[in-house]
Amino acid sequence: MASKGDLTKARLTESMLELIQTSGYSGTGLNAVIEHAAAPKGSIYFHFPDGKEGLGVAAVELAAQQFEALIAEAAASAGGAAGAARAAIEALAAIVSEGDFRLGCLVSVVTLEMGAESDRLRQACVSAFESWIAPTTALLTASGISAEEARSLATVVVSTIEGATIVSRAMRSTQPLMSAADVVAELISQRSQTAGGTR
């Protein structure tokens, strides 16, 4: 069972994640995080001695874990890499829509805002993107695509999803994400067939 301190730390991290999604990294103050998390004052520096940057890294890591879990669930329930990619993007579209287009990818937000300001946050974002590219690469390799091509294609897939998420939020429509799902699934199917893999 998690301790009271662990639960408080988790609430702070979850609140930071949600607030960055809606207000951006720069627009998220520590007092807002404390209020959102209903946490005791002083708890941030107890759990995150390096303050906002450390909390930001934890939020990026949590976002990475959530999307990695979404990929794993899609891979387990869908038939093949193309189906898994489509399922993951459709699940993401549902999250964006249900959040009234206020929620997107925290990692892209932090990258755009802080990538040139904080190398620690930038590296956390690099690790997050890698945690999505790696399992996608494994799925593509399992479909018969060579390791080198699979890595390249996985990077394109993740980049496409990131871009489509931003456009969907701007347009307040899931259509960009659904279009991305169609194109990504078709591209993976074509590459798999060319490589002698299965659809």
CB under 8 Å to 38, separation ≥6 — which residues? 11
Going from the C-alpha of 105 to that of each of 64, 115, 165, the distances in angstroms are 9, 15, 7
CB 131 within 8 Å of CB 68: yes
Which pLDDT does position 41 carry in this prediction? 85
Which pLDDT does position 197 carry in this prediction? 42
Which pLDDT does position 5 carry in this prediction? 81
Token code pair at residue 121: 């946050």
Q: What is the pLDDT along the chain (199 residues), one digit of tens a residue?
A: 668 888 999 999 999 999 999 899 999 999 999 999 999 988 999 999 999 999 999 999 999 999 999 999 998 988 789 999 999 999 999 999 999 998 888 999 999 999 899 999 999 999 999 999 999 999 999 999 999 999 999 999 999 999 999 999 999 999 999 999 999 999 999 999 888 644 4
The predicted model scores a pTM of 0.90
Rounded distance, CA 86 to CA 68, Å? 15
What burial letters (b/e) apply to 8-19, b meaning 16+ CB within 10 Å?
bbebbbbbbbbb
Which pLDDT does position 171 carry in this prediction? 97
Q: Does domain 51-194 have CATH number 3.40.630.10?
A: no
How much helix, strand and coil, in percent to the nearest 5, is found in the chain?
80, 0, 20
